[in-house]
Structure 1
């Protein structure tokens, strides 16, 4: 359970790092804003013409009597919009990272240099087109896995009691896991760590991943919130990637000051007394 709190602290540390580097924060907002506008346009179009799409896809029901026709197509329209929202939540990070590959690579490198004791950051040495190809390929694999889980959890949602209590919690945990994989991939790909090895690292410390990703998944239900949290999430995931690989993280001055002012420190006797 200790790792659960550690993961959440990495999420907070990432947001705090961005608060101290405001120029980088504005830089990191651009990909999220672009993705948000694209998704918002798609969801608005679906809300306006979703019923027409369902009617076009179910011509066999044209001759059904009332109220069955309306109930059937209404249910399918709601189901289509619900699945689209789920897909939006699952894919928002992947699409944003793909669009913002150069932005987030630069941001992650800044974090690595800032917390590295020797002030250096790993570099992949690959051309941009190659990095985009690897990122897109791996993101697609993760999205497919997440979609399979999403369909399974959606089906379990119809089970009485369990579907309204356990399944939503599992849904956020699964979403948080895949979000964390996508976000740590920015730092781990620069270290030339393949997808299979990245997943192995995450499985080895699942509670750390859930502590970081689950609260983030809850926040990412609203894509507009995700836009503002994304830069800090990338920063926090970079810090967590260093932890997963056993790399040293230099403590910043603010954390040192907090340690000095902690209740334990305040209550301990001063030297010489």
Structure 2
């Protein structure tokens, strides 16, 4: 439980870190991207949400019409989950190069050491293809597992625990998404990241649950991804013994425990 709480605290540290003057510029661009994506999704939800759900429940026979409200609610929740994950995927896909740069600058702030000799904005441009491809690979890891869990939601008895399974799975995926940025900057493969997470399940799930929960909160979710990147860097560095005892960031008023 202590490690689980430590993982959750990594996200809180991330929120503190992104307030550092040296990181603000690297937070603003992803923030603008998130706002644009968020506005687009809100518009799409308001325009099409009801029609999508109505189409899904139209197959219900007349003699089961008394269940229509329940089926509508279930499908509304499922559509909401789908839209939420699509929002996160699109936001991270578009913002991936900038999140990678934020992770690099956070690591530099925490360790006092350069991660890459390239100039930051040149690196953003050069990393766009690789960053997008890495996001697609993470999505391909997520998709079959999400579909399997979705199908389990329709099995009697099993569907009673499906909300808990979704929460655990969502926490795991969120942790993978944001721990991967420092891993990528340190030339680690996605398989290495998954192995790293499995060896630290409690802390990973604590961190992922915090990230998942924060992305569900309107307005907060516009900066929660940046905080998750910074928190993921702190998580990664600490587990690899790369955080100096007298942290360079602490002198600037950023608490890193």
Tell me if structure 1 keeps the 8 A contact 2:53–2:75. no
TM-score (norm 2): 0.79
Cα deviation, residue 18, structure 1: 1.1
- What are the ranges of 5 or more consecutive residues in structure 1 without an aligned counterpart? 260-273
Superposition map of 1:152-167 within 5 A: 154-155=153-154, 159=157, 163=160, 167=162
Deviation for aligned residue 1:114? 0.5
Deviations 1:92-125 (A, max 9, x none): 33321111022212211110110114x2115797
Q: How many residues align?
A: 247
Aligned residue among 39, 54, 57 for 2:56: 54
Please name the residue that 1:13 is paired with.
Answer: 13
Cα distance in 2 for partners of 1:150, 1:139 equals 17
Describe the shift of the 1:222–1:12 C-alpha distance in structure 2 as closer, same or farther (beyond 3 A): closer
Once superposed, what is the RMSD of the aligned Cα atoms?
3.3
**Alpha-carbon spacing, 1:224–1:84, altered in 2? closer, same or farther (3 Å):** farther
- 2:128 and 2:254 map into 1 onto residues whose CA distance is 43
- Tell me by how many angstroms 1:6 deviates: 2.1
Aligned to 1:264: none
Which residue is 2:115 aligned to?
121
Which position in structure 1 is the counterpart of 2:168?
Answer: 173
Q: Conserved in 2, the CA contact under 8 Å of 1:54 and 1:76? A: no
**C-alpha distance in structure 2 between counterparts of 1:247 and 1:122, whole Å:** 16
Structure 2: unaligned runs, 5 residues or longer: none
- The alpha-carbon distance between structure 1 residues 192 and 258, as it changes in their structure 2 partners (threshold 3 A), is closer
Residue 188 of structure 1, CA deviation: 1.4
Distance 1:79 1:5, change over 3 A: closer
Query: Where does residue 146 of structure 2 map in the other structure?
Result: 147
CA shift digits 1:206-253 (9 cap, x unpaired): 011112111222232335431132211111112112234443345232
Q: Offset at 1:154?
A: 3.3
Would you say 1:138 and 2:137 are equivalent positions? Answer: yes
